[in-house]
Structure 1
Amino acid sequence: MSDCGCHIEAKNAAERKTLRIVLLVNLGMFLVELGSGILAHSTALIADSLDMLADALVYSLSLYAVGRSPKQKTRAAALSGLFQMTLAVLILGDVIRRLVAGSAPEADWMMAIAFLGLVANGYCLYRIAKHRRGEVHMRASWIFTQNDVIANVSVIIAGGLVALLQSPYPDLIVGFGIASLVFWGGIRIVRDAKQAVMNTPVE
């Protein structure tokens, strides 16, 4: 095997290892945050858990794309973006439901679980950082992981405001903000995928 071939295999192996790790971390945190969000009546935590689920889907598609053709990698990235946008709409639906029906989020739970999520996503961001300038499927993973860190910090702030103001509105506002962040991340990836298609030589 040529040096070029060995380099490509090593790069693919490194990408697979990273994606498997962050996939497992996100699936675990999705279950933790979803259960905690339901118990704590927190829209922001539930929104963040769905963001984790969306990222797990992204990592799964990126893992599938490793070692495949540029066209397949681009399709995987575009599908990841569409998944993110769909889940953003679901998050927005939960925000509206709780706004109408009312909620009483538990601030302590919100902040504790969001901090745990921040640690998990900080680790994922560290793992993916070396691949952030790679091909489109890895760039998608980088963007979504950045969004996760922002979402975790936002939930912690929302929990503090809920405790300070004794109001559910910071929780709802952050839930809406996470939905917007996830939707915008999906748009960025779809655009990136379209640009990659334009730059891919015709076979």
Structure 2
Amino acid sequence: MGTHCCGHQEQNIGDDPREQAIYRRVLWAVLTINAVMFIVEIGAGLMSGSVSLLADALDFFGDAANYAISLIVVGMALSYRARAALIKGATMALFGVWVLGITLWHILEGTLPGAMTMGGIGMTALIANALSFWLLWRHRDGDANMRSAWICTRNDVLGNLAVLLAALGVFSTGTGWPDIAVAIIIAALALQGATIIIRQAIAELRAKDNFAEISAS
């Protein structure tokens, strides 16, 4: 991304002990929120036959795992945080591919999801992710590791809004196509977010290597 995202001042946020403590508390909060919502959504998705809810549930699981990784590397050198961001970016990309695969399976099966369950759980998930989004807002312009946590939550908010639209579409049309469309949107968000995170992490690693070469010469 641009220099604003990769600026020197923003990257050093993770080196401030006070900021580290604040960020850890935020990560624990959003980790708990995402773990609980994964359990709720996976059950609702299986019960209702909604591929968009299942996709969103797996997204909650992936986010919880990513926040756990972020907690581990907070306070470590930038190179470790950048490598952790690379892992998270790759995870998001795999998630996007998985969603596309399960969406194709539901197309072939002609699944008709439960619109009421989709709407109710989608609203609950939106509230949970809006809270996470608010908690992570101040850290959105940090290093690749911090930025990846915010991008995950941003994608979740957009995905939840899409799930609500899908529920309305399923209810109105009596078909599963709105659910399929939203699942594809969620997959696209995951792949786009993964691209942003991986690019910034690679840029940070290259900048560190260049700095090391200059210092050694």
- What's the TM-score bracket when you normalise by the shorter of the two chains? over 0.9
Which residue does the alignment assign to 1:3?
none
Q: In structure 2, list runs of 5 or more residues that go unmatched.
A: 1-14
2: CA distance between counterparts of 1:58 and 1:192?
Answer: 16
User: What amino acid is the match of 1:95?
Assistant: T
2:69 to 61, 68, 71: 61
- Normalising by structure 1, we get a TM-score of 0.94
Q: CA deviation at 1:97?
A: 0.7
1: CA distance between counterparts of 2:93 and 2:62?
Answer: 9
Which residue does the alignment assign to 2:113?
105
User: What amino acid is the match of 1:75?
Assistant: R
Q: In structure 1, list runs of 5 or more residues that go unmatched.
A: 1-6
Q: CA deviation at 1:163?
A: 0.4
1:179 to 187, 190, 198: 187
2: CA distance between counterparts of 1:159 and 1:99?
Answer: 17
1: CA distance between counterparts of 2:137 and 2:113?
Answer: 34
Is 1:170 aligned with 2:169? Answer: no
Identity %: 33
Report the 3-state secondary structure (helix = DSSP H, G, I; strand = E; otherwise coil) of the residue aligned with 1:167. Answer: coil
Which residue does the alignment assign to 1:74?
82
Is 1:145 aligned with 2:145? Answer: no
Which residue does the alignment assign to 1:118?
126
User: What amino acid is the match of 2:40?
Assistant: V
Q: CA deviation at 1:199?
A: 2.4
Deviations 1:85-144 (A, max 9, x none): 111111111101111112110111101101100000000001001111222211111111
- Normalising by structure 2, we get a TM-score of 0.88
Is 1:50 aligned with 2:72? Answer: no
User: What amino acid is the match of 1:133?
Assistant: D
Deviates more, 1:83-92 or 1:119-128: 83-92
Which residue does the alignment assign to 2:96?
88
2:199 to 191, 196, 202: 191
1:127 to 132, 135, 138: 135
RMSD of aligned residue pairs (Cα, Å): 1.2
* 4+ aligned runs moved over 4 Å, structure 1: none
2: CA distance between counterparts of 1:185 and 1:54?
Answer: 13
User: What amino acid is the match of 2:38?
Assistant: F
1: CA distance between counterparts of 2:192 and 2:55?
Answer: 15
Aligned length: 197
Which residue does the alignment assign to 1:8?
16
